[in-house]
Structure 1
Amino acid sequence: MNARRGGRYFLAGLAVILLLEAHSSFAQFRGRGVEMQVVSPIQIVSEPSRMHTISFRVTNRTNRQERFREEAVLPKGWNLVIPMTSFVLPPQASTARLLSFQIPINAREGTEKIVYSVQSDRDPSIRDRAEYDVVVLPVAKTDFLVENPPSSLMAGEEFEFAARLVNSGNIPRMFQIKARNTDTNSPVLAAPSEVFLGPGEGAAVSVTGKIDQKFQGTVAVIQITATIEKDGRTEDAASTAVLVEVVPAVFRKPEPYHILPSTLTVSATRTADGSTKPSFEWEGSGTLDEEGEKELSFSFKGPDVDDSYFFTRTDEYWMNYSSRSLGILMGDQPYGISPLTVYSSYGRGFGVDFKSMAGGKLSAGLFYVRDRMGEEEWMDRGLYVQRSLGDDSFIRLNVAQSETKATDKKPESEDKLWSLEARLRTGKNSDLELEYGRTSTDRPSAKDDNDAYRILWRGMTEGKISYSLGKTHAGADYWGYFHSYDYENASVSIPLGARLRLGIAASGYENNLDLRSGESNVATSENLVQATLDYDLQNGWFLMLGFDDFERLDRLAPANFDYAEKSYWVRLGRNFGQLNWSVEPRFSDQYNRLTGESESVWNMNFLVSYFPSPNLSLSLFWNLGDNDVLSESYLLRGSSSFGGSIFWRMSPQLTLTLAYSRSGISDNAELLTNQFDLIATYEMKEDRFLTLEVSKDDFETEYRLSYQVPIGIKTVKKTNVGILRGRVIDSMDPAKPGLPDVVVRVGSEAVVTDRDGNFIFPSLAPGFYRIMIDPKSIGYGFTTVQKYPISLEIAGGPKPVSMEIGITKGAIFRGRIALPEQGGSDAGEGAAGLRELAVSGAKPGSIAHILVELSRDDQTVRRSTDMNGEFVFDNIRPGSWNLKFYEAGLPAGYRFETESKSIELAPGDVVEIVNRVLPKKRTIQFIDSGTVTTSSSGRKK
């Protein structure tokens, strides 16, 4: 305990020191042509279901106006609240961009990475990107435990799984249990619908349902909720969600060859000037072998569409190959070897990676790339040698060379770079990145400031303290990915209790370190200190308090800016499952020290997301406040920015995506920019798509129509495959004739039996499969002789696996649990408690919520009695079953007349049973043993 507390104090102290001593730095040179920096704290620590917003500053370092297209790469299942779009920046101008996202409820614990990037439409080499860490905290779920959820289902398939509700509190409660599917066309039911649990008691919950035959999504979310009545209101007591992968109900002919998927897209763009520009793109990605070890990806697109306002595109051709031992890159794409030397150099080139040498301990690679736009001729090349240290740790030597041809404004230059890089695992949940580099250049320099270094240490302690410390420095004569750049940051998030967390962060930037007026007319220095208190109010509510201290000044005389801002903000929100919202009022004191201007301003930011089903999702953002915000502010934006997006699958074939954004209002209350985007996609037969895109702002409206065709490229014939052949028969006929036109499914493949009932799957990967029979193809009331679905292991090799599937008429077994007649011979002790179990409005003498079980060697099915004390098992396989009634829920002193028995069900049978509840017979036995004595207080005998 003392060691943990000491570590906590050490990290907090270290963060405070960095907060006090942090120097500012927004880089003069980072990448080529555009520079992007994160204004928000360098990491977010959050529970699932929260919505968060990251602020980036994007600066156009070129001498011409550029339209930039932004892109965000989120972890799988995460959702954007503010849609990504495009924006225009004048030369040397900056703007603040927002990335708002929601962490899903089922996000895994640990650190996830978000990548935000911008790229010029005209010249893809003008690009930059930033990576951002989001630490997802674990959330304990003790009330609902899901026992056997299905991992995948076929569209149209029925399902059943069990959950267990546990009252982990210290008071008895009556729970109402409901289940819902995000797809409203896929019904789901939880039984029992209500249950009474004492402290520490638990109850089994059965969840049954069916996936809609026309379901077109990839994932269905089944949410189970237990509610309680408190003070006349209904409150959520416990909730859990089950994600099930859904395989669409499509028939696919078995393929003996391994297929590399690809698509060919042909487009026509109608530009603002009325001209029509055609283009095409053929892209693919997949594996070349059955083991999935050899990967190939490619993209061929063109020609240029260079006079379009929104849909500008550059011809691009590239192909990549990767295996365990070798990687090959060719064509138009980013190349690089390390963050300090060459990191993301876009051009036309090639690269080779030798991934496994000296028994996997060594790897090496090289690349060559040159400018393909022709505006500034340059060439980069480099190589690396890496030594693995195990446990995802390595040490690496990087060597690179950059050459730039002379232009009218700049002389020819040659830069030689090298760096020593390492990544070390410093703990179970922490790692350390180190890199040191130097440059040898023929550029003129005032002093020999030609080295660079990079340090990043981040992780989380066992006490759930999340931390990140980093610094990147590149000297004024260092000409790698960073140049004349200094950046440092510190961030720590400390739990102060079960529901309270303190966050402290600081960052600093400097550019133009040597104050060279010939390189830039400014020398920017920036400091940002931030602190937050995050309080979990339970039941989905949360509250955050924040403070930001920001300053920005120009160190190069005469100064162009000297600005400071202090902000206080509150964020309140709630996560309802499908509906989530947050509101953030911010109050700020702003100072322009050059002009003497000062403002006390405010704004309010709203974020809302609603995901009622996989077929519909909506998001909305709205920022309003004062119009008097000083132009230097990056933390508080001008008023009345708002927008949102809608995703709507109107039918299995038609999908619409709409996005609208308004950037804000200027000082004279004029609207700055509006942008509207529409994407309509229509799915035709054989996975072909027709897509219409419309983009409009205050100046232009453009259209693009695209037609997409899937192309499967056969690579190698499958060898490590299994063959399944079989026959579907009528088992009720002694002649066992085959049944034609029966749909048999294995995984995502489906076949139809021939006129003799035969079927074959000629190319199945080895493994365990579930063999499914489409119930519509065999008729209602029929089932399989084997346990359904049928589980089978398929082994690779030429010898086929043979099976016979018998179809028979299903049986029905139903019954009722009856109470004893009131006042009769069965009445006695506990009768009042027994009568309490009878539900109001039910049949006289009935008892609800009793568990009934049928079992045999290979299968167990359970049902709960309804309000009338009735239960039914339909479409049961004929044969011998063991029947059992569970006494859980009966009052003390009572029993079932029949607790268990064996029953025989023949095809088509309808068997009924009435089971009475009787008092237990008690025997009192007197034991003639021992003696009885009496004593009086204060007397001895």
Structure 2
Amino acid sequence: MSRPAGRNRSDTASHRAPSHGGRGRRGVRWIERLLPGLALLSCVLLALLLTPSPVFAQARGVDVRAMDSRVLTVDPREVVTVVFQVTNRTGAAADLEGRLLMPEGWRAITPEFPFTLPAGGSAMRLVSFFVPERIAAGEYRVSYQVGIRGRPGALGGSTLAVRVRPVFKLQVDILELPTIAIASEPYTAVFQIVNSSNTALTVGYGAQSSRESEIEPAVGTLTLAPGESQPIEMTVRPPAVTEPAWDEISLTATAAAGEQGETLTDTAKRSVETLPRVTGKEAPPHSIKTLFTRRVGGSWSGRDDGENGAGVQLEWSGSGSVDGTQERILSFLLRWPGLEDDTIFGQDNWFYVDYRGRNFDLTLGDATYGLSPLTDPGISGRGMRFAWRGEGIELSAYHVGSFDFGDDDEDAYYQGHQTGLGLLYALRPTWILGLSYLDQTDNVNGHSQILGVRQQAALGAETALDVELAGSTGDAGDGMAFWGNLIKLGAPWRYRLTLLYASPDYAGYYQNQDRAYLDVDYAPLEKPWSLRAWYHYDRDHQTARQLAEYDQEDWWSLDPDDWDWYGPDSEEHEAGVGLNWRTADQTRYSVELRRRQRSDLNPAPTFDEVENSIRFGYGKSFKDLNLSLNTSIELGEEYDRVTGESSATQAVRASLFWRATRRLNLGGYLSVENEAAATFDEAPRFTGGASVSYAVSPKSTLSLNVQGQQYNGQNSVIADIAYRHARENGDLITVQARHGSRYAELYDNGMNMENSIMLSYMVPIEVPTVPRRDVATVRGRAFDQETGTGLSNVVLKLDRLVAITDENGYFMFPSVKLGVYDLTLAGGSLPVGMIPTLEMPRPVDLYFDAGATIDVPFIRGATIAGKVQLYEPDAALLPSQTFVRVGQGVKAPPPPTSEELKPSRGLGGILVEVRNGEQVYRRLTNGNGEFRFAGLQPGTWIVTIDPEKLPENATIEETGYTLEVEPSADQEVEFRVELKIRTMRMLGTLKVKG
């Protein structure tokens, strides 16, 4: 429904498929009944989509659409470059700002600087990002959103579906690594290196600790045959700590493969919680982490008549669980006064409090409120929202008392207020029905009401359908709209279909727009190539007369006859097909054929342009240099069927990311093009920039971004520098500075310069919420039952709480909420073979046993050991040593008896199983055929082996034994495997007649 800006701001122009299993999305898999109705509905709406519409008021917001396919398949360490077209539909000139939202760990190469668009104007924004090397294969979302500078939330956006391909060659796995370690006490870590290649590899490995734990051995080398794996056992000694801390233990293996010496590498890592020996510390009351920030900023212009500004801003924000259960989340933001007019880094004043509970939500203040794609996907304003959830149902209501789109409240083009009601009902776990009602009043459409019906269904594990039908009535007239989104992810087929139709008198978000998008990607997992194709259709109902009616006093005063470059009533078709090829040395090639047509639909058209082009792409990841490069060149021809003129179009783009050292990252990008890709023809455009990020120390970073641009008759240079330093007490200091200069004939002296600076000091504050009441202390002792000696360094867990026994075996959980828990044994330094006599996990009911002492006696468990032994006859007794012709009274000698067989060798790799009721343990015999099970509970155990792995010519009399095991007993068994004796029958010479 809605979230405060900054917490959930989703893409407002491109909507996600319903999530599976999430709260409030318990939808339906009932496709048999759904498909006939959807087919009829699709036919009706496609007919409406192709019907010409009269012209009415333009929709509000910012339209953001990708100029390429919206579904991509990439490899790790790949640089991706995408061009988005941004169109200002707010009806007034606006200072806009792009925001790139990516998964954690992904890096943006192109920084986003503010840009200005007139009403109806469009611009191309180059977006480039780097896919990290250690990213898991799977589906990811990358969203590019555009909003008003200095304000939270977005006016529009577009989302890319990015699939990262799996790459497996050299693999490192974790065989044994504890989740809990005791400070200064050594433990064993076992990794396994697997050669998944088809050739032998010489592998070097190195182990690391994030908290300077001592590791022995830390480095080494080994040779692995194809498909071979080998365990690496290490001893880790964690450092002394006074508070629980997380230590990441990792093992990295590298190898050179192939004639080119390609470097293969893989890393396995796991976090180990290091606990101090002292655990008797009372837990403080639960608290929420908040951040108090003071900002001081200003700006000054290089022109005499320029505007200078300075100011101070205070902010207090926080978010977290109220009671630690993650079922009640509270977040808030108090920021005042606004600095957006004083410095480019300034932000508007903003106040909101948001509560998310198990059964109800409440939002007060400045936030983003919305219902559905067609009614209102999200509008920033000051209001209130309440939502209630029951089993399979959610009801919500909100009222926004004021909102505006513009540079300030007085001159804002779009102003008004609205009230929304929403209902979500889950018919099935994968089918959700929604009903939305919006009552709004604004200065564009007057007073209107909108009703929307929506259904979200999961058609399979990777396919989802989202459809909405809406209608409006009021001062703007009676109108209707349809929006549908069908998306299929996964491999190898991935596609996304979006249909939109909104009539001229429809008063919702997408007013007077037609759109049809289809994106298809085919990428087999095991193939080095992939295919993609897309078709995008847009109908823009707008005339030069309407654009001229907008207030343009703060922008260029243009004659209405010159407004054709803003894209009046027009339609646009764009289609393309592409092939991507990846080689074994991380080189990527691509080729795309593209066609684009833009037509003026007015009675006297001023343009009818067709552009055909071909794009060649090259990318490569240089692992030895830690550098990734992506480049493309596009060549084409544009023909205007109105004037009969044609011209060549070119575009060159390049992006790179270089990790020079662990502390230094460099990036760069370049775009040179002369294509008429926006809604107007223009001179060649140039955009280039570079970025530097340097870790001065573990707590300090310095970054620099520089961009130069030649665009729309303006030459501009922007330079950003930022410094962040974290103090020992947790306080954070940031300094931001920017220099921007633009040269254009628009300005009196041809030059406009602006300099901005911002100093921020952030102090983390823990705010107590719910006091820790109704708690108890759990105490106990772990000891040897036979001797009474306490067992030290034993780790026990009470659900998620951990305690460690001292030198006398005593342990304590100091502050535990009343409830029913399970006490479990989590490891530690127990003597070999020691097992608890209590059944673990042991239930602990603190409602009745609060304060009671829990004793955990241990005994030395039983051991079952043995060997799978092969018995063979003496070589002198084998009949095959003496050739005997059988027949004519000669008989074969009898085979040796069991007494004549002698033990020869143990059989390795034989599966041995011991079972006592539901307790089952399995081992493979070692190279000598030996096995051992220690620490077994006393009782009746059945020992068996799997005869399938025995030699082909061997027999075994007993495949299982039943043993009565006493405490501390050691029992041994032998599985006798006898080799069969085969008699060879020699035939005489064959005589053939004929």
Q: TM-score, normalised by structure 2?
A: 0.66
2:564 aligned with 1:524: no
In the alignment, structure 1 residue 401 sits paired with structure 2 residue 439: yes
The alignment status of 1:601 with 2:650, answered yes or no, reads: yes
Matches within 5 A, 1:641-790: 641-648=688-695, 650-652=696-698, 654-665=699-710, 671-685=715-729, 687-698=730-741, 699-718=753-772, 723=777, 762-763=814-815
1:363 corresponds to: 394
Question: Does structure 2 retain, via aligned residues, the 8 Å contact 1:182–1:221?
Answer: yes
Q: Deviations over 1:430-474 (max 9, x none)?
A: 01000011111213x6xx6x111011111147x621111111111
> Do 1:535 and 1:544's aligned partners in 2 also have CA atoms closer than 8 Å?
yes
8 A Cα contact 1:22 1:489, kept in partner: no
For the 8 Å contact 1:727–1:759, the answer to whether it is kept is yes
User: Is residue 258 of structure 2 the alignment partner of residue 240 of structure 1?
Assistant: no
Please give the alpha-carbon distance, in whole angstroms, between the structure 1 residues aligned to 2:984 and 2:76. 68
CA distance in 2, matches of 1:680, 1:385: 45
SS in 1 for 2:339: coil
| Contact kept? 1:661, 1:676, Cα under 8 Å | yes
Aligned to 1:257: 285
Q: 1:569 to 1:125 in 2, by over 3 A?
A: same
Q: Does the aligned pair in 2 maintain the 1:591–1:597 contact within 8 Å?
A: yes
The residue type paired with residue 437 of structure 2 is: V
Task: Please tell me the residue identity of whatever aligns with 1:389.
Answer: L
Q: Which structure 2 residues correspond to residues 166-181 of structure 1 after superposition, within 5 A?
A: 166-168=194-196, 173-179=200-206, 181=208
Which runs of structure 2 are paired with 1:890-909 in the superposition (5 Å)? none
Task: Give the letter aligned to residue 365 of structure 1.
Answer: S
1:164 lines up with 2:197 in the alignment: no
Cα deviation, residue 155, structure 1: 10
1:751 deviates by: 11
Q: 1:155 touches 1:247 (CA, 8 Å); kept in 2?
A: no
What's 2:454 paired with?
421
The change in CA–CA distance for 1:604 and 1:127 in structure 2 (over 3 A counts) is: closer
- Provide the C-alpha distance between the structure 1 equivalents of 2:235 and 2:606, rounded to a whole number of angstroms: 68
Distance 1:509 1:89 in 2: 20
Tell me how far apart the structure 2 counterparts of residues 226 and 28 of structure 1 sit (CA, whole Å): 64
> What amino acid sits opposite 2:701 in the alignment?
L
Aligned residue runs from structure 1 range 39-50, under 5 A = 39-50=67-78
How far 1:692 sits from its partner (Å)?
1.8
**Equivalent runs, 1:369-384 vs 2, <5 Å:** 369-371=400-402, 374-375=409-410, 377-384=415-422
**Paired residues of 2:79 and 2:130 also in contact (CA < 8 A):** yes
Amino acid at match of 2:338: D
Counterpart of 2:685, as a letter, is G
Instruction: Give the counterpart of 1:533 among 564, 579, 587.
Output: 579
Letter in 2 for 1:378: G
Whole-Å separation in 1 of the counterparts to 2:980 and 2:61: 99
- The CA deviation at 1:301 is 0.7
Q: Deviations over 1:27-78 (max 9, x none)?
A: 9988744332222312223344433223222233456553323322222333
- Residues in 1 aligned to 2:803 and 2:356: alpha-carbon distance in whole angstroms: 35
State whether residues 194 and 227 of structure 2, in contact with CA within 8 Å, keep that contact through their aligned partners in structure 1.
yes
The CA deviation at 1:423 is 0.4
**Contact 2:528/2:582, CA 8 A, preserved across alignment:** yes
Deviations 1:768-808 (A, max 9, x none): 899999xxxxxxxxx887999x99999673447779999xx
Does the Cα contact within 8 Å between 1:192 and 1:205 map onto a contact in 2?
A: no
Matches within 5 A, 1:230-629: 230-231=258-259, 234-237=261-264, 239-245=265-271, 254-272=282-300, 276-356=310-390, 360-371=391-402, 374-375=409-410, 377-405=415-443, 413-443=446-476, 450-460=479-489, 464-495=492-523, 498-512=527-541, 517=546, 522-556=568-602, 559=605, 562-565=608-611, 566-574=613-621, 576=623, 579-591=626-638, 593=640, 596=645, 598-610=647-659, 613=662, 616=663, 618-623=665-670, 625=672
Q: 1:217 to 1:342 in 2, by over 3 A?
A: farther
CA positional deviation for 1:479: 1.4
Q: Indicate the residue corresponding to 2:750 in structure 1.
A: none
Check whether the contact 1:50–1:575 (CA below 8 A) recurs between aligned residues: no
CA contact (8 A) 1:786 1:805 kept: no
Instruction: Provide the rounded CA distance (Å) in 2 between the counterparts of 1:689 and 1:771.
Output: 38
Structure 1 pair 506–561 and aligned structure 2 pair: CA distance change class (3 A): same
From the superposition, tell whether residues 665 and 419 of structure 1 become closer, same or farther in structure 2 (CA, over 3 Å): same
Q: Assess, with a 3 A threshold, how the Cα gap between structure 1 residues 71 and 229 changes in structure 2: closer, same or farther.
A: closer
Is the Cα–Cα contact under 8 Å of residues 799 and 823 in structure 2 kept in the other structure?
no
Match of 2:96 in 1: 68
Q: CA deviation at 1:122?
A: 5.8
CA distance in 2, matches of 1:144, 1:150: 17
Q: Check 1:645–1:226 CA distance in 2 against 1; reply closer, same or farther (3 A cut).
A: closer
Give the superposition deviation at 1:338: 0.4
CA distance in 2: counterparts of 1:926 and 1:466, whole angstroms: 58
Higher Cα radius of gyration: 2
One-letter amino acid of the structure 1 residue matched with residue 529 of structure 2? L
Three-state SS of the structure 2 residue aligned to 1:716 is coil
**Aligned residue for 1:202?**
229
Q: 1: distance between equivalents of 2:824 and 2:603?
A: 74
Q: Once the two structures are superposed, what CA deviation does each residue of 1:399-430 show, in whole Å capped at 9, x if it has no partner?
A: 1111025xxxx6x7112111110001111210
Q: Which amino acid aligns with 2:441?
A: E
Change (3 A) 1:722 1:657: farther
Residue 227 to residue 368, structure 1, CA distance change in 2 (3 Å): same
Q: CA contact under 8 A between 2:85 and 2:678: conserved in structure 1?
A: no
Any idea what SS the aligned residue of 1:147 has? Answer: strand
Cα deviation, residue 227, structure 1: 1.6
| Structure 1 residue identity aligned to 2:232 | V
Task: Name the CA shift for 1:118/1:156 in 2 (closer, same or farther; >3 Å).
Answer: farther
Instruction: Report the Cα distance in structure 2 between the residues aligned to 1:550 and 1:416, rounded to whole angstroms.
Output: 38
The CA RMSD over aligned residues, in Å, is 5.2
Query: Secondary structure in 2 aligned to 1:700?
Result: strand
Output the CA distance in 1 between the equivalents of 2:70 and 2:309.
45
Q: Deviations over 1:620-640 (max 9, x none)?
A: 122155678887689998345
Change (3 A) 1:202 1:320: same
Kept in 2, the 8 Å contact 1:24–1:487? The answer is no
Check conservation: 1:476, 1:513, Cα contact below 8 A. Answer: no
User: Aligned letter for 2:706?
Assistant: S
The DSSP-based 3-state class of the residue aligned with 2:375 is coil
CA distance in 2, matches of 1:535, 1:655: 41
Once the two structures are TM-superposed, the CA of residue 318 in structure 1 deviates from its matched residue by: 0.5
The residue identity in structure 2 corresponding to 1:702 is: S
Give distance in 2, aligned partners of 1:368 and 1:602: 47
- Residues 683-738 of structure 1, C-alpha deviation per residue, up to 9 Å, x if partnerless? 231x2222222222222222222222222222223468674668999xxxx99999
Alpha-carbon contact 1:176-1:193 (below 8 Å) kept? yes
Distance of 1:930 and 1:121 partners within structure 2: 92
Aligned CA distance change for structure 1 residues 752 and 400 (closer, same or farther; 3 Å): same
Structure 1 unaligned residues grouped into runs of 5+:
1-13, 774-782, 807-858, 860-924
1:211 CA drift (Å): 7.8
**CA distance, structure 1, for counterparts of residue 657 and residue 67 of structure 2:** 23
